[in-house]
Protein backbone atom coordinates (compact mmCIF):
# COMPACT_ATOMS: atom_id res chain seq x y z
CA UNK A 1 0.00 0.00 0.00
CA UNK A 2 1.35 3.40 -0.97
CA UNK A 3 -0.82 6.45 -0.55
CA UNK A 4 -1.81 9.18 1.86
CA UNK A 5 -3.06 7.67 5.08
CA UNK A 6 -6.69 8.76 5.05
CA UNK A 7 -9.82 6.68 5.65
CA UNK A 8 -11.07 6.60 2.05
CA UNK A 9 -7.87 4.91 0.81
CA UNK A 10 -8.82 1.68 2.63
CA UNK A 11 -5.61 0.75 4.47
CA UNK A 12 -7.79 -0.40 7.37
CA UNK A 13 -9.53 -2.90 5.07
CA UNK A 14 -6.15 -4.03 3.78
CA UNK A 15 -4.81 -4.83 7.24
CA UNK A 16 -7.81 -7.05 7.97
CA UNK A 17 -7.68 -8.72 4.55
CA UNK A 18 -3.92 -9.31 4.82
CA UNK A 19 -4.35 -11.15 8.11
CA UNK A 20 -7.10 -13.28 6.59
CA UNK A 21 -5.20 -14.03 3.36
CA UNK A 22 -1.76 -14.47 4.96
CA UNK A 23 -2.42 -15.61 8.53
CA UNK A 24 1.10 -16.85 9.31
CA UNK A 25 3.56 -15.37 6.84
CA UNK A 26 4.18 -12.41 4.58
CA UNK A 27 4.69 -8.72 5.16
CA UNK A 28 2.36 -5.83 4.57
CA UNK A 29 4.07 -2.52 3.89
CA UNK A 30 1.95 0.57 4.39
CA UNK A 31 3.81 3.54 2.96
CA UNK A 32 2.66 7.10 2.79
CA UNK A 33 2.35 10.32 4.71
CA UNK A 34 -0.33 10.76 7.32
CA UNK A 35 -3.09 12.69 5.57
CA UNK A 36 -5.43 12.94 8.53
CA UNK A 37 -4.12 13.57 12.04
CA UNK A 38 -4.22 10.42 14.15
CA UNK A 39 -5.03 8.06 11.29
CA UNK A 40 -1.63 6.34 11.28
CA UNK A 41 -2.05 5.66 15.01
CA UNK A 42 -5.47 4.19 14.26
CA UNK A 43 -3.97 1.92 11.58
CA UNK A 44 -1.20 0.85 13.95
CA UNK A 45 -3.88 -0.04 16.49
CA UNK A 46 -5.67 -2.09 13.81
CA UNK A 47 -2.40 -3.96 13.15
CA UNK A 48 -1.95 -4.64 16.87
CA UNK A 49 -5.53 -5.88 17.26
CA UNK A 50 -5.12 -8.15 14.22
CA UNK A 51 -2.21 -10.01 15.80
CA UNK A 52 0.02 -9.25 12.81
CA UNK A 53 1.67 -6.12 14.19
CA UNK A 54 5.17 -7.54 13.69
CA UNK A 55 4.41 -8.20 9.98
CA UNK A 56 2.82 -4.81 9.20
CA UNK A 57 5.46 -2.19 8.42
CA UNK A 58 4.68 1.52 8.40
CA UNK A 59 7.33 3.47 6.49
CA UNK A 60 5.93 6.97 6.44
CA UNK A 61 6.28 9.02 3.27
CA UNK A 62 8.59 7.73 0.55
CA UNK A 63 9.52 9.42 -2.72
CA UNK A 64 11.72 9.10 -5.79
CA UNK A 65 14.29 6.33 -5.79
CA UNK A 66 13.13 5.05 -2.41
CA UNK A 67 9.61 4.61 -3.82
CA UNK A 68 11.01 2.71 -6.81
CA UNK A 69 13.05 0.47 -4.51
CA UNK A 70 10.02 -0.36 -2.36
CA UNK A 71 7.91 -1.12 -5.44
CA UNK A 72 10.69 -3.29 -6.89
CA UNK A 73 10.60 -5.38 -3.70
CA UNK A 74 6.81 -5.84 -3.89
CA UNK A 75 4.87 -8.88 -5.01
CA UNK A 76 1.39 -7.31 -5.11
CA UNK A 77 0.24 -3.72 -4.82
CA UNK A 78 -3.18 -3.10 -3.27
CA UNK A 79 -5.21 0.10 -3.14
CA UNK A 80 -8.60 -0.79 -1.65
CA UNK A 81 -9.83 2.77 -1.98
CA UNK A 82 -13.45 3.60 -1.27
CA UNK A 83 -13.17 6.30 -3.95
CA UNK A 84 -10.30 7.26 -6.25
CA UNK A 85 -10.35 9.54 -9.31
CA UNK A 86 -7.62 7.61 -11.12
CA UNK A 87 -5.01 6.01 -8.81
CA UNK A 88 -1.67 7.22 -10.12
CA UNK A 89 0.17 5.02 -7.64
CA UNK A 90 -1.43 1.91 -9.15
CA UNK A 91 -0.14 3.05 -12.55
CA UNK A 92 3.32 3.49 -11.03
CA UNK A 93 3.19 -0.02 -9.58
CA UNK A 94 2.20 -1.47 -12.95
CA UNK A 95 5.02 0.48 -14.61
CA UNK A 96 7.33 -1.38 -12.20
CA UNK A 97 5.79 -4.70 -13.29
CA UNK A 98 3.78 -5.23 -10.10
CA UNK A 99 0.28 -6.74 -10.44
CA UNK A 100 -2.29 -4.61 -8.64
CA UNK A 101 -5.54 -4.97 -6.79
CA UNK A 102 -7.80 -1.93 -6.98
CA UNK A 103 -11.44 -1.41 -6.21
CA UNK A 104 -14.27 -0.79 -8.60
CA UNK A 105 -14.25 2.74 -7.15
CA UNK A 106 -10.89 3.56 -8.79
CA UNK A 107 -10.82 5.36 -12.12
CA UNK A 108 -7.99 3.14 -13.39
CA UNK A 109 -10.08 -0.03 -12.99
CA UNK A 110 -10.80 -0.43 -16.72
CA UNK A 111 -7.07 -0.57 -17.49
CA UNK A 112 -6.36 -3.00 -14.65
CA UNK A 113 -9.17 -5.52 -14.97
CA UNK A 114 -8.14 -8.69 -16.75
CA UNK A 115 -4.82 -7.19 -17.82
CA UNK A 116 -2.58 -6.22 -14.93
CA UNK A 117 -4.49 -7.11 -11.81
CA UNK A 118 -7.81 -7.64 -10.13
CA UNK A 119 -10.72 -5.28 -9.54
CA UNK A 120 -12.84 -5.85 -6.45
CA UNK A 121 -15.43 -4.08 -4.31
CA UNK A 122 -13.91 -2.21 -1.33
CA UNK A 123 -14.63 -5.04 1.11
CA UNK A 124 -12.40 -7.17 3.34
CA UNK A 125 -13.59 -10.56 2.04
CA UNK A 126 -13.16 -9.60 -1.61
CA UNK A 127 -9.71 -8.17 -0.94
CA UNK A 128 -8.57 -11.23 1.03
CA UNK A 129 -9.76 -13.45 -1.82
CA UNK A 130 -7.94 -11.34 -4.42
CA UNK A 131 -4.72 -11.41 -2.38
CA UNK A 132 -4.90 -15.20 -2.05
CA UNK A 133 -5.67 -15.54 -5.74
CA UNK A 134 -2.67 -13.48 -6.91
CA UNK A 135 -0.30 -14.99 -4.35
CA UNK A 136 -1.35 -18.61 -4.90
CA UNK A 137 -2.11 -18.81 -8.63
CA UNK A 138 1.32 -18.56 -10.28
CA UNK A 139 -0.13 -18.72 -13.82
CA UNK A 140 -2.53 -15.85 -13.12
CA UNK A 141 0.23 -13.88 -11.40
CA UNK A 142 2.57 -14.29 -14.39
CA UNK A 143 -0.21 -13.25 -16.80
CA UNK A 144 -0.98 -10.13 -14.75
CA UNK A 145 2.72 -9.29 -14.41
CA UNK A 146 3.10 -9.53 -18.19
CA UNK A 147 0.03 -7.32 -18.64
CA UNK A 148 1.63 -4.59 -16.55
CA UNK A 149 3.92 -3.73 -19.46
CA UNK A 150 1.00 -3.35 -21.87
CA UNK A 151 -0.94 -1.13 -19.48
CA UNK A 152 2.11 1.00 -18.72
CA UNK A 153 2.62 1.38 -22.48
CA UNK A 154 -0.94 2.72 -22.81
CA UNK A 155 -0.13 5.37 -20.19
CA UNK A 156 3.06 6.72 -21.82
CA UNK A 157 3.01 10.50 -22.26
CA UNK A 158 3.62 10.31 -26.00
CA UNK A 159 0.68 7.95 -26.44
CA UNK A 160 -1.62 10.07 -24.26
CA UNK A 161 -0.57 13.21 -26.15
CA UNK A 162 -1.31 11.51 -29.46
CA UNK A 163 -4.78 10.53 -28.20
CA UNK A 164 -5.53 14.06 -27.01
CA UNK A 165 -4.43 15.52 -30.33
CA UNK A 166 -6.80 13.07 -32.03
CA UNK A 167 -9.67 14.17 -29.81
CA UNK A 168 -8.99 17.84 -30.64
CA UNK A 169 -8.78 17.05 -34.35
CA UNK A 170 -12.13 15.25 -34.19
CA UNK A 171 -13.73 18.15 -32.32
What per-residue confidence (pLDDT) applies to 160?
Answer: 64
Residuewise pLDDT in 10s, the chain (171 residues): 999 999 999 999 999 999 999 999 999 999 999 999 999 999 999 999 999 999 999 999 999 999 999 998 999 999 999 999 999 999 999 999 999 999 999 999 999 999 999 999 999 999 999 999 999 999 999 999 999 999 988 887 787 677 778 888 899
Can you give the three-state secondary structure of the chain, one letter per residue?
A: CECCECHHHCHHHHHHHHHHHCCCCCCEEEECCECCCCHHHHHHHHHHHHCCHHHEEEEECCCHHHHHHHHHCCCCEEECCCCECCCHHHHHHHHCCCCEEEECCECCHHHHECCCEEEECCCHHHHHHHHHHHHHCHHHHHHHHHHHHHHHHHCCHHHHHHHHHHHHHHC
Whole-model pTM: value is: 0.91
Amino acid sequence: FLSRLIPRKGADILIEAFVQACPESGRLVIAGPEGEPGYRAYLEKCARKSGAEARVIFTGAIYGEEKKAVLADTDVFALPSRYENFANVAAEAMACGIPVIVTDSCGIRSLVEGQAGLVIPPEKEALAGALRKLLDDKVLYARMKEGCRRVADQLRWDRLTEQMEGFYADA
